[in-house]
Structure 1
Amino acid sequence: MTSRLGRDRRRHTIAAPPGAPTVSPRRRVVVVGGGIAGLAAATGLAERGVAVDLVERQPYLGGRVGGWTVALPDGHRAGMSRGFHAFFRQYYNLRALLARADPDLAVLRPVADYPLVDAHGRLDSFRGLPRTPPWNALAFALRSPTFGVSGLLRVAAREALPLTDVRVPDVYTTLDGLDARAFLDRVRFPAPARHLAFDVFSRSFFAPPERLSAAELAVMFHLYFLGSAEGLVFDVPSRPFHTLWQPLAAYLTAHGVRVRTGLSVDRIERTSEGFRVHAGAETIPADGVVLAADVPGLRDVVAASAGLGPPWWRERVANLATAPPFCVLRAWLDRPVDRRRPAFLATGGSPPLDNVSVLDRYDADAAAWAARTGGSVVELHAYSVVAGDDAEVRRDTRARLWRRLREVYPETTAARAVAEEVLWRSDCPLFPPGSFAVRPGVGTPVPGLALAGDGVRVDLPVALMERAATTGWLAANHLLASWGAAGHDVVTVPVRGRNAVLRALAARFGPRPEKVVDEATTV
């Protein structure tokens, strides 16, 4: 990999399964879902000579990182999406996917900092921190106004040891039965620091800490802090999401992939020759299938596909949970926000606001609109919105988001929204305590069928977009191996703590994990 795909010399490579350079005789696979997982699976298969039909129900590719355009009052069309996404440097498998069509990853623009601010105005910053663990996390804590030396001294060191040597998947044995809030209580993290250092990240899973597995929180801490030397800042795409995936779509088409958008798969039928995939009026024969739909879509397709897999596996799919609803509010303002505002600001203790993005700082589409009008484009996120009467909750959430924006960025008080788009979704996977052992994995009990997506179990230290990309590559490898063809390397941060002293302390004083083994769900 080039430096654009990672600088950490201790990153972990899972070597591709060996085999022939191409599949022979040629096979046909239907990939259901055109999000990151489906795009990775389609790429991995097509590069080995498999005939691929990529079927996506939306009119665009990218899934939850896709986009579309909306009409503005001035007659122009502008990009819209499901919200901000951070492309961290340790997202090796996602970046490898993007690099297929953009070898230099020129589309990604570095963000110098993403400050975290709490309700009292205390600000944490990632600017200028060392890249190497554990000095990155230590420097962050020591200079934080919400943590500092006194906060470090109050932490229950023994209870925090699992964070210093996160071993995947062993960490799920020791921590998956505990929720993230209970774990942080046990560790005695100072409440203000918890809001910024953990709650902000746990809510990026679209779940409140009490509904998130402590093991997932530990894996997150390992992935972003103590497990990686790629640094704590990230990149963002300079292209709007409605154009981001076009180069990769062209790459796939050049490799013979039939990209089908606006087509929804209803059910999958097993046959003596393989599968028949039913999508509206069409029936697509296939030797293999990758189900890379979101959690609701996966549940629906499996439920409608009688006889697809044994009852125990179908029950695991049916029991996959989704996180509470989230809201994205994007506004085109008639005046600029202060030029010193960062591209992205995370907020803690200011519900319902979780973060603010100033899109014209990095998005070419928003920047062009701002330059033409003298305004700005801002985006507000509210993750994991408390349930209630839908209409009432939505009206209240919108009003409170506007109030919070004006508190955080007072200059927006005088601004008028030239246009506004409010989006609600509730289709993100939820990782509640105790769910890891029964989460379906990439491999399935159905020969020729694989799963992919960020809700799918994978025994590697990955999360969010990177989990989606990783499972996509692994799904391709799973099918390719069954046909005797070579797969593709998968790269992650180290699968255990990287500091020998901290590992020794965790081994001596911390809980002794036993590896989770469930052959029914792992590859």
Structure 2
Amino acid sequence: MTDRRAVRHRAPSGAADAAALPSRPSVVVVGGGIAGLTAATGLAERGVAVTVLESSDVLGGRVAAWSERLPDGSTVSMSRGFHAFFRQYYNLRALLRRADPRLERLRPVDDYPLVDGEGRRDTFRGLPRTPPWNALAFALRSPTFRLRDLVRLNARAAAPLAAVSVPRTYELLDGTDARTFLERINFPPAARHLAFEVFSRSFFAPPSRMSAAELATMFHLYFLGSSEGLVFDVPDSAYDTALWEPLRAYLERLGVRFRLGTPVGGVARDGSRWFVDGAQADGVVLATDVAGLRSIVAGSPDLDSAGWRDRVLGLRTAPPFLVLRLWLDRPVLAERPAFLATGGLHPLDNISVLDRYEREAATWAARHGGSVVELHAYAVADEERVVRKRLLDRLHRLYPETAEAAVAGSSAQWRQDCPLFGVGDFTRRPRVRTPFDGLVLAGDGIRIDLPVALMERAAATGWHAANCLLARWGLAGHELTTVPVRGRFAPLRLLASLGG
């Protein structure tokens, strides 16, 4: 953490360990993704007895990894796709430091170019890190943005981009979709596709369905609210070996029990006690994906608060996405970046060359003289077969050398389990606290009034969920850290307050 203006959110005070209590509290955490593992960490470090129930056979949730076998019999690693670990993901990094104090298992990706259908390229290499000069330098050196475009911007309408304050930004913009907002501020169309659309689609929704408030918060988190820069890190090996196996070992040393392959159909309560899949506990953390949370709540008659129940059951999932990983019999050219983002090249959103940074992929590529390439398509509207063909066509156009490569193996992940950050969703989204004493929620689809997103939102809600339960028992919580909670520039905050 290098940003001196990062905000530390004080933790609730209390006893340092549950050993100081008359009896040791117990908690069942449902979900072994980032949110659930974070909550388990926060609780176990204060001496709470924790059991983690995970429906799949691996930890990590949407950042899980597992082994598959190619037609030639070789064993390879597979996941749900590339994830960027940005430097301003303070709460996620705090979790990972439990098992890797110096974050030595993360390695930097120095640049990730953006290219559009016209062949125009942008880059984040060499940008200043301090706002607003980072965003200004990016805009002025972009082939899609000219000085005259700055003059034509509607400054008052655009002010919320630089004056983010949660939840005020959602009150202003959550009723508008991101595409309409960008049109309203006169953001140049070419730059919109090459820059904003790339980021908005990483939220698994097209700009026409994404909340403009989420777009503004994203812009604050990555550009105008933080001086950490847009450089990010990636694990140096598969997610399981780099992240979750070491963290699981750390948690097991704290006494955490894991039950994998254990789906949960519902929870019940009797007075102050909770019952989950045969286990009794003093508290429960529901840290599943949207579909899982809806299913559990629907199957739990004791969760009988009508308004809250409606909020949970009304949560929406984003359109499906496809991750296609290819094991090729020849390498891609050396000048290809480890990660390339695309705009206006539907349905392709990015290309990753995994053997540039992931140990398992590099080992396979070296052994076979080939490469491991991954293609992403977010917010898909077509059927999987059509999308796969179009992804390959785009790959062959951008990296022509792959057209002649034989495919030694391929693996596809077609999923629809990411939360939709849609127009008007913010006020309807359930919070970490619930109407039921001892039950809390966590996950990237859960509301928390902090400038966080994606994996960082999952981690932040996980820490907050643990803190809510710890405070119930008089135990000390864990500090959270975020980028500044409002725009860094007072004149722009004033302009936004006047109707931006």
TM-score for the superposition, normalised by structure 2 = 0.98
The answer to whether the Cα contact below 8 Å between 1:60 and 1:66 also exists between their aligned partners in 2 is yes
- Residue type at the aligned position of 1:442: V
1:437 to 2:427 alignment: yes
- Residue type at the aligned position of 1:253: E
2:211 aligns with 213
The answer to whether the Cα contact below 8 Å between 1:328 and 1:422 also exists between their aligned partners in 2 is yes
2:372 aligns with 377
Residues 346-369 of structure 1: per-residue CA shift (max 9 Å, x gap) = 000000000000000100100111
1:153 aligns with 151
1:345 to 2:340 alignment: yes
The CA deviation at 1:435 is 1.3
The answer to whether the Cα contact below 8 Å between 2:163 and 2:496 also exists between their aligned partners in 1 is yes
Q: Within 5 Å, give how 1:239-250 maps onto structure 2.
A: 239-243=237-241, 244-250=243-249
Residues 91-129 of structure 1: per-residue CA shift (max 9 Å, x gap) = 000000000000000011000101000001100000000
The correspondence for 2:197, drawn from 178, 196, 199, is 199
The CA deviation at 1:411 is 1.2
The CA deviation at 1:500 is 3.4
1:310 to 2:309 alignment: no
2:235 aligns with 237
The answer to whether the Cα contact below 8 Å between 1:309 and 1:446 also exists between their aligned partners in 2 is no
- Alignment partners' CA distance in 2, 1:116 and 1:481: 45
1:277 aligns with 276
Give the secondary-structure state (helix, strand or coil) at the position aligned to 1:351.
coil
The answer to whether the Cα contact below 8 Å between 2:354 and 2:373 also exists between their aligned partners in 1 is yes
1:17 aligns with 12
Q: Within 5 Å, give how 1:37-52 maps onto structure 2.
A: 37-52=35-50
The answer to whether the Cα contact below 8 Å between 1:79 and 1:241 also exists between their aligned partners in 2 is no
Residues 439-477 of structure 1: per-residue CA shift (max 9 Å, x gap) = 100000000000000000000000000000000000000
1:453 aligns with 443
- Alignment partners' CA distance in 2, 1:315 and 1:307: 14
The CA deviation at 1:242 is 2.8
1:360 to 2:372 alignment: no
- Alignment partners' CA distance in 2, 1:30 and 1:98: 21
The answer to whether the Cα contact below 8 Å between 2:157 and 2:496 also exists between their aligned partners in 1 is no
**Stretch of structure 1 that moved more, 36-45 or 151-160:** 151-160
Give the secondary-structure state (helix, strand or coil) at the position aligned to 1:13.
strand
Q: Give 4+ residue runs of structure 1 displaced > 6 Å after superposition.
A: none
Q: Within 5 Å, give how 1:3-82 maps onto structure 2.
A: 6-23=1-18, 24=21, 25-82=23-80
The CA deviation at 1:164 is 1.1
1:182 aligns with 180
- Residue type at the aligned position of 2:247: L
2:324 aligns with 329
The CA deviation at 1:260 is 1.4
- Residue type at the aligned position of 2:372: V
- Alignment partners' CA distance in 2, 1:309 and 1:345: 47
1:390 aligns with none
Unaligned runs of 5+ in 1: 1-5, 388-392, 512-523
Q: Percent identity?
A: 65
- Alignment partners' CA distance in 2, 1:168 and 1:404: 39
The answer to whether the Cα contact below 8 Å between 2:160 and 2:493 also exists between their aligned partners in 1 is no
The answer to whether the Cα contact below 8 Å between 2:339 and 2:353 also exists between their aligned partners in 1 is yes
Residues 127-167 of structure 1: per-residue CA shift (max 9 Å, x gap) = 00000000000000000001121222222222111111111
The number of residue pairs the alignment matches comes to 496
**Stretch of structure 1 that moved more, 405-414 or 115-124:** 405-414
Give the secondary-structure state (helix, strand or coil) at the position aligned to 2:208.
helix
- Residue type at the aligned position of 1:466: E
- Alignment partners' CA distance in 2, 1:130 and 1:157: 23
The correspondence for 2:165, drawn from 164, 167, 179, is 167
**Stretch of structure 1 that moved more, 451-460 or 306-315:** 306-315
2:392 aligns with 402
- Residue type at the aligned position of 2:439: L
Give the secondary-structure state (helix, strand or coil) at the position aligned to 1:146.
coil
**Stretch of structure 1 that moved more, 135-144 or 159-168:** 159-168
- Alignment partners' CA distance in 2, 1:327 and 1:506: 38
The correspondence for 2:294, drawn from 268, 285, 299, is 299
The answer to whether the Cα contact below 8 Å between 1:69 and 1:77 also exists between their aligned partners in 2 is yes
The answer to whether the Cα contact below 8 Å between 1:80 and 1:242 also exists between their aligned partners in 2 is no
The answer to whether the Cα contact below 8 Å between 1:309 and 1:445 also exists between their aligned partners in 2 is no
The answer to whether the Cα contact below 8 Å between 1:79 and 1:242 also exists between their aligned partners in 2 is no
The answer to whether the Cα contact below 8 Å between 1:162 and 1:510 also exists between their aligned partners in 2 is no
The CA deviation at 1:311 is 1.1
The CA deviation at 1:498 is 1.1
The correspondence for 1:224, drawn from 204, 222, 225, is 222
- Alignment partners' CA distance in 2, 1:365 and 1:297: 31
2:254 aligns with 255
The answer to whether the Cα contact below 8 Å between 1:344 and 1:357 also exists between their aligned partners in 2 is yes
2:131 aligns with 133
The answer to whether the Cα contact below 8 Å between 1:180 and 1:209 also exists between their aligned partners in 2 is yes
The correspondence for 1:485, drawn from 461, 475, 482, is 475
Give the secondary-structure state (helix, strand or coil) at the position aligned to 1:384.
coil
Unaligned runs of 5+ in 2: none
Give the secondary-structure state (helix, strand or coil) at the position aligned to 2:324.
strand
The CA deviation at 1:395 is 1.1
1:520 aligns with none
The CA deviation at 1:271 is 0.9
- Residue type at the aligned position of 2:110: A
Residues 12-40 of structure 1: per-residue CA shift (max 9 Å, x gap) = 11100011112322111000000000000
TM-score for the superposition, normalised by structure 1 = 0.94
- Residue type at the aligned position of 1:48: R
- Alignment partners' CA distance in 2, 1:155 and 1:404: 33
